Amino acid sequence: MKLNNSRIIKDKKGESMSLTLAQITEQLRELKVVPVIALERAVDILPLADTLANNGLPVAEITFRSSAAAEAIRLLRQQRPDFLIAAGTVLNAEQVVAAKNSGADFVVTPGLNPKIVQLCQDLDFPITPGVNNPMAIEAALDIGIETVKFFPAEASGGVKMIKALLGPYSQLGIMPTGGIGMQNIKEYLAIPNVLACGGSWFVEKNLINAKNWQEIGRLTKDVVEWVNS
């Protein structure tokens, strides 16, 4: 599997431009799965990214759960420019700016913080905030957000809850994350509004710390083949 053309697009002057949310959404639909990654060492992102890409998944959500996140995003953008990069677990303005300056394509947040959304909109920086109930969805719609993360997915009612919410909110594009694995990912992806599912079971921290790229590659290949079968 490959990305649609290149991550980098050019304006009329030949200068690099950021991906739009529509372009990001298109790539997510093609990829179907987003690895949710927590790194202790920024340098690990390059062999990890190569392992993911070589097994059909040139995308990463690098979470700000560690101080290595911004540097990992910067390294990945510089060294693997065609990768689709999300900055995950973004909780404050400082992290938004760090993610933007490091070269992330978009931001993913666990909840809906209107101040963070406004900052991203001011920076022309696509954001996918987390929601799991009608109140949060309506708050998102009120500030112009229709692409959301459904989190924590399984704990919030999973597939049944998403289907129920899509009754009144059929315009949503959804990226479920939390409690998703090989046993249920196809159920989520069968919902037309689901763009892709986030998951960490094939990029667990202990495998990354052990530099077990072979096992990560095997698991990645398995999930890519499974969601496309």
Q: What is the pLDDT of residue 221?
A: 98
- Strand 16-17 relative to strand 9-10: parallel, antiparallel, unpaired? antiparallel
Sequence-distant (≥ 6) Cβ neighbours of residue 94 within 8 angstroms: none
**Which are the catalytic amino acids?**
61, 149
pLDDT band at 163; cut points 50, 70, 90: very high
What does the pLDDT look like over 37-93, one tens digit per residue?
A: 999 999 999 999 999 999 999 999 999 999 999 999 999 999 999 999 999 999 999
Q: Return d(Cα 76, Cα 29) in angstroms, integer.
A: 22
Mean pLDDT for the stretch of residues 107-119: 98
6 or 209: whose pLDDT is higher? 209
Q: What is the pLDDT of residue 125?
A: 98
Mean pLDDT for the stretch of residues 141-167: 98
Mean pLDDT for the stretch of residues 200-206: 97
Q: What is the DSSP string of 24-45?
A: HHHHHHHH-EEEEE--SSGGGH
Give all domains of the chain, ordered by start, each with its CATH number.
Answer: 31-221 (3.20.20.70)
Q: Return d(Cα 119, Cα 32) in angstroms, integer.
A: 28
